[in-house]
């Protein structure tokens, strides 16, 4: 079984991204410890951003069993993120 993954697309000049990233990492460590966190800098890794059709930051892609389940772009609340991850995560691990 593939580990669930949250891919966090950003770049160094995004001030919103810098505030959001530690909050996302804290949410994952506290509520969803089996979910992997992957950071993608779209300026350093433009091919990965293009493969995933990411054109704005922050963009968060959530994968379960190798498939994209959710995509959040620009305005992301931690509450929305928690709600989106919770059900599929519980189905896999509880």
When divided into structural domains, the chain yields a total of 1
Predicted structure pTM score: 0.93
Q: Identify the three-state secondary structure at position 74.
A: coil
Q: Whole domain around residue 25: which residue ranges?
A: 5-93
- For 19, the enclosing helix (H) or strand (E) is helix 15-31
DSSP state of 13: T
Chain centroid to CA 13:
18
pLDDT digit string, tens, across residues 32-82? 999 999 999 999 999 999 999 999 999 999 999 999 999 999 888 999 999
Helix, strand, coil proportions of the chain in percent (round to 5)? 40, 25, 30
Tally of CA atoms within 13 A in the half-sphere of 73 that contains its CB: 8
* CATH number of the domain within which 26 lies: 3.40.30.10
């Amino acid at each position: 079984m593939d580990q669930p993954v949250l891919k966090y697309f950003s770049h160094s000049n995004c001030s919103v991204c810098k505030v959001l990233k530690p909050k996302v990492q804290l949410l994952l460590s506290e509520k969803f410890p089996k979910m992997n966190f992957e950071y993608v800098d779209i300026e350093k890794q433009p091919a990965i951003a293009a493969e995933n059709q990411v054109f704005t930051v922050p963009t968060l892609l959530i994968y379960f069993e190798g498939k994209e389940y959710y995509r959040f772009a620009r305005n992301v609340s931690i509450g929305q993120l928690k709600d989106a991850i919770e059900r599929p995560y519980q189905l896999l691990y509880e």
